Amino acid sequence: MSRIPRFSKPQEFSKWLLVQESLLIWIITIAFIVLAFVCVHNQYFGELPWLAAMCGFPWTAYGVSQAFYYKKSTAENTKGGIKYDTVVGNEDAVG
């Protein structure tokens, strides 16, 4: 008996957005670390705090979006939330 392959459900938009944001902040962080290396390697002895700020700000924004994502997720998956009520409602109808 062959098994029918199951197709995975498409990811929710908010999860896909967090994945894209994670990728973007890592690209930004690595790019600025490389830029700092190039500046030091070329004997640029000027001020470099702008590099720290440009790396820190995206991580701060990422932390805020993570916090709001978890808040949304908690609201959906607790009693009275959209997903929770849908699952419990389906179990009550089946059982």
Q: Would residue 54 count as lying in a domain?
A: yes
Q: Would residue 8 count as lying in a domain?
A: no
| CA terminus-to-terminus distance, the chain | 29
Q: Would residue 4 count as lying in a domain?
A: no
Q: Would residue 26 count as lying in a domain?
A: yes
Q: Would residue 1 count as lying in a domain?
A: no
pLDDT of res. 73? 79
How many domains, the chain? Answer: 1
Q: Would residue 58 count as lying in a domain?
A: yes
pLDDT of res. 85? 62
Flag whether the pTM goes above 0.75. no
Dihedrals phi, psi of 42, to nearest 5 degrees: -90, 15
Q: Would residue 2 count as lying in a domain?
A: no
- Residue range of the domain that includes 36: 13-94
Q: Would residue 3 count as lying in a domain?
A: no
**Whole-angstrom distance, CA of residue 87 vs CA of residue 13:** 20
* pLDDT by position in tens, the chain (length 95): 556 666 677 777 778 888 898 899 999 989 988 988 898 899 887 777 887 788 788 889 889 988 988 888 787 777 766 666 666 665 554 55
CA atoms within 13 Å, Cβ hemisphere of 46: 7
